[in-house]
Chains A and B, each alone.
Chain A
Amino acid sequence: MGSSRKTEIFVGAFVLLALLAFFVLAMNISNLGSLGSDKGYTVNAQFDNVGGLQPRAKVTLSGVSVGRVTGISYDKETFRAVVTMTINGGVDYLPSDTQASIYTSGLLGEQYISLEPGAEDEVLAEGSAVTLTQSAVVLEEIIGKLLVSFTTKD
């Protein structure tokens, strides 16, 4: 039975190696480790223009990632874009007058949402709406404004 024992040891090592690799994939490589099991809470924000913002873009607080965009839709009542985002459960101290802005990381990088805390005592919770928003900067608009200011100077 010596050879069968060797076989069993090898198979055991093989399965263990795969489990270890799976653990690494889950914890070190993907975001399962950072987002973890805490579900967080969902808030909405309305923007005039979301530009190139994509679902799963990150939501940051002074550059620290605290959540993710989960959905982007259009509200036909207000004619504005609605961005749904999930904030980590641990970050439960955001004042209700927090401002949300859409920024671009780097010149050509992806767009993300940056939150700037306000001063109210009341805090954001599940289902709250962020009312103070700043839309994405669209390159064409900037160029257009620049051109207008150049022409008016003349």
Chain B
Amino acid sequence: MILNFLQSIGAYVLDAFASLGRASLFLMQVLMGIKDVLLRPRLLIRELYSVGVLSLLIIVFSAIFVGMVLSLLGYVTLVDFGAESSLGVLVSLSLIRELGPVLSALLFSGRAGSALTAEIGLMKATEQLASMEMMAVDPIRRIVTPRFLAGFISLPLLTIIFMALGIYAGYLVGSVWLGVDEGSYWSQMQNKVEFWHDVVNGIIKSVVFGFVVTWIAVYQGYNAMPTSEGVSRATTNSVVYSALAVLGLDFILTAIMFI
């Protein structure tokens, strides 16, 4: 009984290491193609459109609503202590340090990451990747690398937009609707939010998330079983693993950056 249990844990751990190794080798191959992609920026721009621009709508909407809710709840709590002038600080620090990077990454993996996995997985299932190989075109460099780079670049940009919009939405609810003094909303915020400590660390978080989320997405797509069931499973895995990785890494990064 116990031996069986130990064995299954051992098998699971070995399996996890093996897939981590495979994913790292794959990442190496993807990164080797960066030079080729930079020589043909048109490929990258097309992917920036489908990965970045098409995710903009959901990011903008979420940022506005998250900012408004944060402001509303923050006001209700702070007003009890007579500290509603700190509302700007609360909204901006929450968004910059935590909610901006994490929510953007989760939304991005749902919108763009899953699409990347499905697209690459389908190309594999319909032999498009194999046919490219036979046309002497490396599918990793031609298909995967531009998508990986586009994801890696897009997420930090989307996160920055998320942060700024959320803070403005919070301002609208807090100052215009609930009547917190406009001056104290902004000045307290400016006093408390450190550019290097808060803003830059928040952006570093999103750079890490962008790297991991797109890596998971393209790896899952490229290694999907070439069947419709395999592609749908890979898409689900892509979103689930991305979410787990983002939340786990967020804890580690927060502990390193803000303690």
Contact = CB atoms under 8 A, between A and B. Distances in A.
Do chains A and B stick together as partners?
yes
Interface of A: 4, 7-8, 10-11, 13-15, 17-18, 20-22, 24-26, 28-34, 56, 58, 65, 106, 108-109
A25 B199 contact: yes
A7 B163 contact: no
Interface string B154-170: 00011011011101000
Given A15-B157, A22-B160, A25-B163, A31 B191 contact: yes
Nearest to B158: A18
B161 A17 contact: yes
A10 B101 CA distance: 23
Interface in B172-222: 186, 189-191, 193-195, 197-199
A32 to B, nearest CB: 4
B73 interface: no
Interface string B42-64: 10011011001100100000000
B117 interface: no
Given A4-B46, A14-B157, A29 B167 contact: yes
The 10 closest A-B pairs by CB, nearest first: A18-B157, A32-B195, A21-B164, A30-B195, A30-B193, A7-B49, A21-B160, A21-B161, A10-B53, A11-B48
A18 B191 contact: no
11 contacts: A7-B45, A15-B157, A18-B160, A22-B164, A25-B163, A25-B164, A25-B199, A26-B199, A29-B189, A106-B82, A109-B83
A91 B163 CA distance: 33
A36 B195 CA distance: 10
A74 B55 CA distance: 51
A33 B136 CA distance: 53
Interface of B is mostly: helix
A108 B96 CA distance: 25
A31 B53 contact: no
A11 B161 contact: no
- Determine the main DSSP class of A at the interface with B: helix
A148 B68 CA distance: 50
B5 interface: no
B230 to A, nearest CB: 30
A107 B163 CA distance: 31
Nearest to A6: B49
Contacts of B190: 28-31, 33-34
A29 B164 contact: yes
| A21, A26, A34: residue with the most chain B Cβ atoms closer than 10 Å | A21
Nearest to A22: B160
Contacts of B52: 11, 14
Contact of B49 (A11, A29, A30, A31): A11
B92 interface: yes
Interface string B122-149: 0000000000000000000000000000
B81 interface: yes
Contact of B53 (A4, A11, A22, A30): A11
A15 B157 CA distance: 7
A111 B199 CA distance: 24
Contacts of B96: 25, 29
A20 B104 CA distance: 18
Contacts of A4: 42, 46
Contacts of A33: 190
A29 B191 contact: no
Nearest to A23: B164
A17 B52 CA distance: 12
Contacts of A32: 195, 199
B160 A29 contact: no
